[in-house]
């Protein structure tokens, strides 16, 4: 089975940096995804990690340690529009991806 843990809520200030952690225990691992979901909208893809290390994409970076079952999403230069839910998803066997419960990020002025 899959067990994915993320903090439920986080708050940060505009212009700051925030790190959202995700830990997982899975029976198979074929990559870890981060998605952003604004209220009332569908999830949108942010990043993908399958090897250990840091993947950087503009203001967003994602890190993976497979041995520790740990990932984080780093958001820099926070903007008000970054207020959203951030979903960690682990891709297991047979094309099946399981989502964590998501972290609701609130960015304050």
- Judged by the rule CB under 8 A, the positions of this chain that interact with another protein are 30-31, 33, 35, 41-45, 48, 50, 87, 89, 91, 94-102
State in angstroms the smallest separation of the CB of 44 from another protein. Answer: 7
Query: Among residues 56 and 77, whose Cβ is nearest to another protein?
Result: 56
What tokens does 79 get? Answer: 């903007």
Query: Among residues 77 and 96, whose Cβ is nearest to another protein?
Result: 96
- String of DSSP letters for the chain: -EEEE--SEEEEETT--EEEEEEEEES--S-EEEEEE-TTS--EEEEEE-SSEEEEETTEEEEEETTTTEEEEEE-S--GGG-EEEEEEEE-GGG-EEE---EEEEEE-
State in angstroms the smallest separation of the CB of 97 from another protein. Answer: 6
Query: Among residues 53 and 109, whose Cβ is nearest to another protein?
Result: 53
Nearest alpha carbon to residue 48 among 85, 88, 21, 84? 88
State in angstroms the smallest separation of the CB of 50 from another protein. Answer: 6
State in angstroms the smallest separation of the CB of 89 from another protein. Answer: 8
Query: Among residues 69 and 102, whose Cβ is nearest to another protein?
Result: 102
């Amino acid at each position: 089975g899959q067990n994915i843990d993320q903090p439920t809520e986080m708050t940060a200030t505009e212009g700051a940096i925030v790190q959202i952690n995700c830990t997982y225990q899975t029976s198979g691992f074929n990559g870890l995804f981060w998605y952003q979901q604004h209220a009332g909208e569908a999830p949108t893809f942010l990043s993908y990690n399958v090897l250990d290390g840091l993947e950087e994409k503009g203001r967003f970076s994602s890190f993976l340690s497979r041995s520790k079952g740990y990932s984080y999403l780093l958001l820099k230069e926070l903007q008000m529009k970054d207020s959203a839910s951030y979903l960690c998803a682990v891709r297991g066997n047979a094309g099946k991806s399981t989502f964590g419960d998501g972290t609701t990020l609130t960015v304050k002025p």
